[in-house]
Amino acid sequence: MCGAETPSPKTVKVEGAELQVCDECADFGTEVREESGSSTSTKYSTSSSSGSGSGSSQSSQSSSSQSSNTRRRDMFDEMDEIAADYDDRIRNARENTEMNQEELAKSIGEKASLIRKLERGDVLPTDDVQQKLESELAISLTESGDEEGEWSSDSAGSGLTLGDMVKRKD
């Protein structure tokens, strides 16, 4: 974590991530100890609990030895994300129904200041407010997380760089 090179780093778990750190940084996490029966399993379970009957083959694989083509799915892969243009969608739908911000706020039981902030893009709608707006205005404020697909890099074999992932607003 500090960047110091050490000949014998310790493996610690810090907020769910296993890291190789120096002795001083090891105090920031919980040390991962090897069990005596297996050289690759740790005291922390890294496999999914909802697997098939052959859980032993999954738990003996460390995350670094898994194939790069298969990645473990988590709950965020299946969640819809708020659309980047949610503010425009709200404003356009409200204007199409010929309501002002105060009327919309009253119809969904929220404050007009919240509607103003949402239409400016200053705040994200809570799940409750999002459902009310989608119902009242007959719009969708979400976009599926799978639409963009996986990140890819044009660089020759060096993996992703920050420049591959940044989208500029010019």
pLDDT per residue as tens digits for the range 69-103: 555 666 666 677 888 899 999 999 999 999 999 99
Annotated domain spans of the chain: 1-44, 80-144
pLDDT tens across 146-167, in order? 444 455 545 455 667 777 778 7
For residue range 91-143, list pLDDT tens digits in order.
999 999 999 999 999 999 999 999 999 999 999 999 999 999 999 999 999 88
Q: Give residue 23's pLDDT.
A: 85
Which helix (H) or strand (E) segment is 127 a member of?
A: helix 127-137
Q: What angle do CA 51, 56, 57 make, to 5 degrees?
A: 85
Are 162 and 153 in contact by the 8 Å Cβ rule? The answer is no
In the chain, the DSSP E strands lie at 10-14, 17-21, 30-31, 80-82, 142-144
pLDDT confidence tier of residue 48, bands split at 50, 70 and 90:
very low
CATH superfamily label, 80-144: lambda repressor-like DNA-binding domains (1.10.260.40)
